[in-house]
Amino acid sequence: MMQLKTMNLKNISLSIVFGLLSISGIAQENKIDGVAVVVGKNIVLDSDIDKFKLEIKERSEGKVTISDCEMLEELMQQKLLAHHAVIDSVTVSQAEVDGKVNQTIQFFEREYGSKDKILEVYGFNDMEDLKKELFKVQKENLLIEREQQKITESVDVTPEEVRLYFNGLKEKNELPEFPAEVELAQIVMHAESTKEENENVVAKLNKIKEEVEGGASFKLKAIINSDDPSVAQNGGFLGPITKDTPFIKEFKEVAFSLDEGQISEPFKTDFGYHIILLNKIKGQAREVSHVLIQPEITDEKLKETKEELENLKKDLIDGKITFNEAVKKHSEDKDTKNNGGIIVNPYTGESAFDLTRMDPALYGRINELQKGEYSDVFYDETRGGEKMYKLIIMRNRTNTHTADLVSDYVRIQQLALAKKKEETVAKWSKEKIQETYIKLGDDHKKCSFKANWKKENQ
C-alpha cells in the first residue's frame, strides 16, 4: 500500500476518508460520472477522487496533500481489499455494522451540531435514507478492515526490528516529530433542580397531556411549551425511530411501550422531563412527537455547586484526599466516574489529546497547566441543558519533540509494526493484482503507480 506522509490518513480517520465522503451527494440527482477504474466488481468514479482529496485536505488542515494519481491508487487498494474480502468469505454481522453507523451519526453530530445540518451537508431528505447509505459504506469498511487483519494477523516486530527501524529513520534524517499531547482527568458536579421544581414540571406535563387527550393540538402545545431547541422547525415531531436509532435509552423504551395515538406519562432523561405521543407504527419504526421541559436551576443552587467543588479542590491541593478518591466519592459524570475521571478523546478513543487539534474552549482552560496541576473550577452545560461545574487535572503532558527511542518506544514500535504490515499488504496486493480484473479509465492510464495496476511487462 502506498505511504502517505506520517501526519497520515490514520490521524484523520480512515473510516471517514475511505467511505463516508462517498455518501456525499448520493441523494442528489444522479448524473453520468466518469469511471476512473474498475477493480473486480468495484467501481471508483472520477468524482470519488475529488471528494476524497478534499476530505483529506480539510481533515489534515492542509498538512497532507495528495495528487489525483496517488489518491486513485489508494482507492484502488481499498477496492482490491473489499473485492477479495468477498472472495475469501469474510463476514461481518448486522449488529457490528449498525454500531459503526451509530458511531458515525454521533461523530457527524459533534462535527455539525445537529441532524438537520448533517442532512443539509450530505444532501439527504431524512436520517433513515442517510443510515441506509451509511450501512453500505460501513459494511465495506469493515470488510476491508477484516481482510487486512486476515492478511497481517501473524505479523509482529521484535525489539531489534524496532531499533533498526528507528536508526534507519535517524540516518535519513526522517525521525518524526510528535506533537504536544496531554492526558486529562475531571471531576464533575451537576447543579440539580429542586424536588419542588421537578414536581412542578411533571404537573405541567400532566396538564398538557390531559389537554391534548381532550382535543388540543399536540404540535401547538409543543411549540408553546417545549424546551427542545428544534421545536420551532418540527413542532415536536421527531420522525420515525427504530430500536437502533441513536436516541437515549429511556426515551426509546417509553416510545416502544406505547400504542398508536397514546401519550406517555411524564418521564425523566438526561435532557429533562418528557411526554411522548406515538403518532404511527410503521413496521419496526415508531413515528413520535414529544414535549421536553427542563426544570429551572436557581442561581443559588449554581453558586452552591461551584463552592462545593472549589472546597474539594482545596482539599485535593492540601492532600486531604486523592484525586481518584475524589472522583469515586464526588464526581457525577457517568462516562468518567469509574475510570479515575480520565477524559477519552472522542475522535481517537484514547486518553491522549493532541494540543494542536483540541477543542478551543478546553485548550484555553488547560494549555498553561503542567503535570499534576488543576484548572480553575468552571461552568459547563451540555447540549441537552445539563448544568454543571468541572475541575480538570493535568495527568500527563509531553511537549512537541523529535522522536526518541527510549521515551517514545511504544509509538516507534507501533510505527515499525504499521510499516511491516503495510509491506505485507503490499506484497499481497502485488500477487492479487495479477489475478484480479482491473480496467483503468483512459484519463488515468498516464499515472505512474507504485504497484503494477496497469499489468505491464507481462
Q: Which domains are assigned to the chain?
A: 9-178+405-444 (1.10.4030.10), 181-191+298-402 (3.10.50.40), 195-293 (3.10.50.40)
- Answer with the residue of higher pLDDT: 300 or 51: 300
Does 55 score more than 80 pLDDT?
A: no
What does the pLDDT average to over 151-177?
Answer: 96
Quote the pLDDT of residue 199: 96
Band the pLDDT of 31: cuts 50, 70, 90. Answer: very low
Quote the pLDDT of residue 26: 43
Looking at beta carbons, which pairs linking 431-440 to residues 24 or more positions away fall under 8 Å?
432/80, 432/84, 433/80, 434/458, 436/39, 436/40, 436/80, 436/83, 436/84, 437/38, 437/39, 437/40, 438/37, 438/38, 438/39, 438/40, 438/76, 439/37, 439/38, 440/36, 440/37
Quote the pLDDT of residue 457: 64
Quote the pLDDT of residue 458: 53
pTM metric for this prediction: 0.62
> Helix, strand, or coil here: 264?
coil
Count of CB atoms within 10 A of residue 156's CB?
A: 10
What does the pLDDT average to over 436-451?
Answer: 92
Does 2 score more than 50 pLDDT?
A: no
Quote the pLDDT of residue 315: 97
Does 92 score more than 70 pLDDT?
A: yes
Q: What pLDDT digit, counting tens, does each position of 115-150 carry?
A: 788 888 888 888 888 888 899 999 999 999 999 999
Does 270 score more than 50 pLDDT?
A: yes
Backbone angles phi and psi of 389, in degrees to 5: -120, 145
Lowest mean pLDDT among 9-23, 158-172, 243-257, 411-425: 9-23
Does 28 score more than 80 pLDDT?
A: no
Task: Please name the residues in contact with 452: beta carbons below 8 A apart, sequence gap of 6 or more.
Answer: 430, 433, 434
Does 211 score more than 90 pLDDT?
A: yes
What does the pLDDT average to over 72-89?
Answer: 94
Does 21 score more than 60 pLDDT?
A: no
- Answer with the residue of higher pLDDT: 286 or 21: 286
Does 272 score more than 70 pLDDT?
A: yes
Does 383 score more than 80 pLDDT?
A: no
What's the burial of 372, exposed, middle or buried (CB within 10 Å: 0-12/13-18/19+)? exposed
Does 10 score more than 50 pLDDT?
A: no
Question: How much of the chain, in percent, has pLDDT values that exceed 70?
Answer: 92
Quote the pLDDT of residue 107: 80
